[in-house]
Amino acid sequence: MKTASLFSFLMLLTAPFLQLTLSAQTLRFDNPIAEQRADPWVHKADDGTYYLIATAPEYDRIVLRKSQTINGLKTAEEKAIWHKHSKGVMGHHIWAPELHRIDDVWYIYFAAGEAENIWNIRMWVLSNHSDDPMQGTWKEEGQIRTQRESFSLDATTFEHNDKRYLIWAQNIRGDKEGTALLLSEMKDPLTLTGPEIVLTEPEFNWERQKYLVNEGPAVIKRNGKIFVSYSASATNHTYCMGLLWIDEQANLMDAGNWHKSAGPVFYTQEELKRYGPGHNSFTVAEDGKTDVLIYHARDYKDIIGHELSDPNRATRARVLGWTRSGFPDFMQLVGD
């Protein structure tokens, strides 16, 4: 993995100037899209339906809502489609679910601890063969097994050149609060083939605030590159987002082909009352062409007690810009 110098990365983002289509300039979101919903993932189905899945602050269930528009998700009826176990695995810390449609089957990837050992967190999968993920039966497919048996979470999957991949966060150093991002090919939606390569570890100061964290990866492919956003540091006002990228023709399983931003690309902006933005996903607006960033943040800085006990991370939406050099512009100084 190669780290881009801060100067060169800022040049990629800011020069030449940002290009936005007219539709993107006039697009407005009714933020927040969902109160008290963290780690948001919005999936746009082939028929145009939007599904929102996110972490509930009680950490006890997986909830899902759908709408024909992004703004409509705000008032859409929410359904709890799965609840935590009363004992054993999948019994606590139900975190960061993602909804994917693979070969006409719905899958939910999520993290969960044990009822008796709440920090023994691993990655789990549910499946549903119904046409509508709000209907049908969700089957527990079990744990995603990795080469290391350690704290792991935030799995996301994508396809490229007829191969499926998984990116996830995992403790690889034996440090309780430390997570890196790893990548592996998949044999099927439930099984890794290996090898498992490390894409990024917390190395910069902005990735090491209170905790050593790289987590919450999200993939977007544009302009001949594969971009991976991710989140870093504690889930308070220090939470922020970094960026990885690779040429789409390069070997994804060679860590040396990946690049990493030296600085955060989206972070707290007090003037806009945007604190701790992160754990995002990407979707496309109703026009079929405007990229949209879905993320969570708080509108205040000071938290009473532990940040994970504060319920007020809210799901928000904003247009994702692009520079003429083909890089995403998160428009740090622009409000939602």
10 pLDDT band, cuts 50/70/90, is low
- pLDDT top residue among 107 and 175: 107
| The dihedral sign for the CA sequence 101, 84, 184, 261 | positive
Write down the pLDDT at residue 144. 98
3 pLDDT band, cuts 50/70/90, is confident
- pLDDT at 224 > cutoff 70: yes
Write down the pLDDT at residue 23. 43
Pull the structure tokens for residue 146.
Answer: 């990795």
Pull the structure tokens for residue 47.
Answer: 């028929």
- pLDDT at 19 > cutoff 50: no
| The dihedral sign for the CA sequence 94, 97, 102, 106 | positive
Pull the structure tokens for residue 151.
Answer: 């704290």
pTM over 0.85: yes
What's the whole-number mean pLDDT along residues 193-215?
A: 97
Write down the pLDDT at residue 16. 40
Distances (CA, A) of 255 to 21, 54, 309: 34, 30, 36
Write down the pLDDT at residue 2. 78
Q: pLDDT tens digit string along 84-136?
A: 999 999 999 999 999 999 999 999 999 999 999 999 999 999 999 999 999 99
Write down the pLDDT at residue 27. 85
- pLDDT at 12 > cutoff 60: no
304 pLDDT band, cuts 50/70/90, is very high
Write down the pLDDT at residue 192. 98
Pull the structure tokens for residue 326.
Answer: 């083909």
Average pLDDT, the chain: 94
Angle at the Cα of 172 from the Cα atoms of 9 and 94, rounded to 5 degrees: 90
Q: Which residue has the tokens 């190669």?
A: 2
Q: For the chain, give every domain's residue range.
A: 2-329
How is domain 2-329 classified at the architecture level of CATH? 5 Propeller (2.115)
- pLDDT at 20 > cutoff 50: no
Query: Which residues are designated catalytic?
Result: 39, 215
5 pLDDT band, cuts 50/70/90, is low
Distances (CA, A) of 301 to 44, 207, 305, 316, 334: 32, 18, 13, 17, 19
Helix, strand, or coil (residue 247): strand
What's the whole-number mean pLDDT along residues 279-308?
A: 97
Q: Which residue has the tokens 């929410």?
A: 78
| Partners of residue 243 on adjacent β-strands | 229
31 pLDDT band, cuts 50/70/90, is very high
- pLDDT at 142 > cutoff 60: yes
Write down the pLDDT at residue 6. 52
Rounded to whole angstroms, the Cα distance separating 209 from 278 reads 14
Rounded to whole angstroms, the Cα distance separating 124 from 106 reads 14
- pLDDT at 13 > cutoff 70: no
Q: pLDDT tens digit string along 228-264?
A: 999 999 999 999 999 999 999 999 999 999 999 999 9
Rounded to whole angstroms, the Cα distance separating 96 from 167 reads 14
- pLDDT at 46 > cutoff 70: yes
